[in-house]
Structure 1
Amino acid sequence: MSLSLDEMLTQLSGHDSPNELYGVTAPSAKSRATVEKVLEEAEAVLAEEGVAGLTFRALARRCDMRLSNLQYYFATQEDLLTAVTRYILVRRLSELKARGPLGLIEAPQRFTAYLEFRMERAADPKAQAITTGLRDLALRQDGPARHVAQICRFHTDLIEAMIAALAPETPSQEIRHKAVMIAALVEAVGPTCGRLFDRPEGLRSAILSQARSIVGLPA
């Protein structure tokens, strides 16, 4: 059984553990605030400079911390990069929750609003830079790769559930195929072709129309 949005948020953030935050040991309010600050700055670095900018020394300077203090929380580079990945994914899921498309009662409106939200975020230049960074991390390190894969499966499972609600008579294998196709369509709005690629005019509306057609809704 796939996790709900709230369950995924809890798992990624570690907020259910009093001694852990984003996989980092942080038993006190002060330590949790420090971890949040470091990861907020790390996200900014990822957006501005990419993975190459995420060094301990650069981040320590940016946070006005001693290098030893930073390494107290993040013992290795992979610990830092994994925590950054979890932090960014939680922020994105939190925005999805706040915008509320998954809370819409009618299945067609829920499906459309969800896809519109995903494509809107994918088209945002800062979000694209961060997504590029996350994908780079997922290719380099097992920790980030594990969580990026987890979130990709989560979104595909969400689409499956929405298709099942729209067309409950559809065989499960066909639902899966449609969900994978729609997930791939949404990814086309993102930074797949790099920051200098000019996306065709009307791409988002065309993707939404095609996705609705795939699940049997009027385009």
Structure 2
Amino acid sequence: MSISLDALIDQLTTGATASEIYGVAAPSNRSRATVVKVLDEAVEVLATEGVSGLSFRALARRCDMRLSNLQYYFATQDALLTAVTRHALASRLEELRDRGALTLPDLRERFRAYLDFRMDRGAAPRAQAITTGLKDLAQRLDGPAEHFAATCRFHIRSLADMVMAFSPDTPPETVTHKAIMIAGLIDAVGPLCGKSYTPPEGLRAAILTQASEIAGV
């Protein structure tokens, strides 16, 4: 069953109870503000230092908090890294929603705007660093892996919906395969070869052309 963009953002930003934010218990406005502050700082660490910089002590110093206060909200390292993953993914999806790419009435414009958004994020150094960190966490920990996978499924489904709209008679399995192929092309803009690698000139235009051909635009 597919999930909407708003529903996925809500899923990432809330929790099992009404008092949770990003899966972290925070019953008051003050505690919610504290959790957001910590996660904002943690994402900044992810962008500048990578996963290795996300220790409790380093983050407590950065947030000017006592270690015990930080651990009041995040009892374990896994809990912290899962919440960071949820926050970073939700922020990226909120950017997509704010751009309005998936709500454009013209299908071709919607497809191009969506690809542009994904490739813009893939080419931005800060976004690249965050994505690298999130992929690292998703390979090692169940919590980050669950939320990263949900986000990937959303992107595949969004592409599949557009492919199906371009070619309504295409079998569902073929639609899914095409969506996966387009997603793979988009990922080629990202940090696959590290920060020292400069993508070849014309890569973006080539991806747009190839993705359009696959989708049947």
TM-score range, shorter chain: over 0.9
SS in 2 for 1:158: helix
TM-score by length of 2: 0.98
8 Å Cα contact 2:81/2:137 also seen in 1: yes
C-alpha separation between the residues in 1 aligned to 2:75 and 2:106? 47
C-alpha separation between the residues in 2 aligned to 1:25 and 1:205? 45
8 Å Cα contact 1:10/1:16 also seen in 2: no
Matched, 1:215 2:215: yes
C-alpha RMSD of matched pairs (Å)? 1.0
Seq. identity, %: 61
Per the alignment, residue 195 of structure 1 pairs with: 195
Per the alignment, residue 96 of structure 1 pairs with: 96
Q: Which runs of 5+ in 2 are unaligned?
A: none
- 1:15 positional shift: 7.2
Taking the TM superposition and a 5 Å limit, the aligned residue runs for 1:10-29 are 10-14=10-14, 17-29=17-29
SS in 1 for 2:198: coil
Q: Which runs of 5+ in 1 are unaligned?
A: none
Per the alignment, residue 108 of structure 1 pairs with: 108
C-alpha separation between the residues in 1 aligned to 2:108 and 2:15? 33
8 Å Cα contact 1:160/1:176 also seen in 2: yes
TM-score by length of 1: 0.97
- 1:17 positional shift: 4.6
Structure 1 stretches (4+) deviating beyond 6 angstroms? Answer: none
Greater alpha carbon shift after TM alignment, 108-117 vs 60-69: 108-117
Number of aligned pairs?
217
C-alpha separation between the residues in 2 aligned to 1:16 and 1:3? 18
- 1:108 positional shift: 1.3
Q: Which amino acid aligns with 1:196?
A: S
SS in 1 for 2:200: coil
8 Å Cα contact 2:159/2:179 also seen in 1: yes
C-alpha separation between the residues in 2 aligned to 1:82 and 1:16? 14
